[in-house]
Structure 1
Amino acid sequence: MNDLVLGAAGLLVTCALGVLSWIQWSTSEKATARQREKEESARSRQRDVELTRWGNSVIELMAELEAECFPLAASAKSRSHVVETLAWRASALVDQGRLFFPNIGASDKSSGDRIGLLDEVIRATYVAQYVAAGRTEVDGKLLRAHVYSARKRFIKSLQERTRPALYEVNDSETGVRVPLDPRDWPQPSFERRVI
């Protein structure tokens, strides 16, 4: 009888140790999974930051290129050395964009096709190269309009890609049309003191 009690006690202890081991393993696995999830979330946030930084650089370049294609100031002229710099910067931004957006359908036999978002940056590169070379077959005003349109398409496409990271806005936050001519604006609601 004593052996039976000892056997039952041993079995009970073994089962208890097995349950404790399973609980410890399960807790450890959950902690590891939570840690992996935190690390992935941090990498995703960092990727969003870097993508936003890259996108901002593209937007700034395109805005500067617009001004160089057809300066609005009557006395301003496009400066080919500035546009040449914009051309190589735009080319570099295309390659940097490939770090975020690899080619679609790439294989051992084909480099694949680039994502449409990068087409807009390529347009800026080509316009900058065209202007830097001193070519005048296409009107600067038209080139400016092409770059402006490419910038708008780029922004829309980038927003679609980063939609989960964008702030949520509702209809009550809709802006109003701002007239182009400041003379058509309402009087300022705040006065700035001049000392």
Structure 2
Amino acid sequence: MNKYVNQMKQAVMEYQKTARRIADQEARNRERLSEEYARAENNALFTEMREACDKAYNQIQAVLDTVSGGLGKAVELRGKDVTEDVQLLSGAFDLSKTQLQSLVAKYRNNPTMMNAIAKYAKANGIHGVQIPTEEDKLEAYKVFAEGARSMIRSITTDPYIRLDYLEGWGEVPVSSERLVDLVGTGNEIK
């Protein structure tokens, strides 16, 4: 699982845990305390809930900020990441779009090889090879962030809402294969 999507997931899970604890306490207050005292205690809990919600939203935004800043940096190309498949990109072979796309899938988490594949596609006028750009990746992270925010809104409305998909969120098949592929592991972001 992508480490940044996992951070968003953890923010949602922590918020739901807090929201449930607060909802339980509010119910106990209504049962055990007079109406006046219950209202005063529950007002304090409402403030705590609002703060927990804000904290979760801020954690998600912090992840987006980290990703955005990290994607904007030049990727370090390293000779040790060059594989023998670079020989296919040397010009001795006429590779098709399908063959290049296969190499993209194979080297998605290898910036050095992705650079070589992109250079080959450009030099040989091969269009339509789906090489993820920084913008594509950032948009994928934004989709995950909006999903996390949506879950937080749902939890705010009903702390006991069943988010059965949350366990596998950020992984195929719960999340879109395309989005999961675009964000990769997150290890390339510094």
User: Could you state the TM-score of these two structures normalised by the residue count of structure 2?
Assistant: 0.33
Question: Which one has the largest radius of gyration?
Answer: 1
Asked which structure has the greater RCO (Cα within 8 Å, sep 6+), the reply is 2
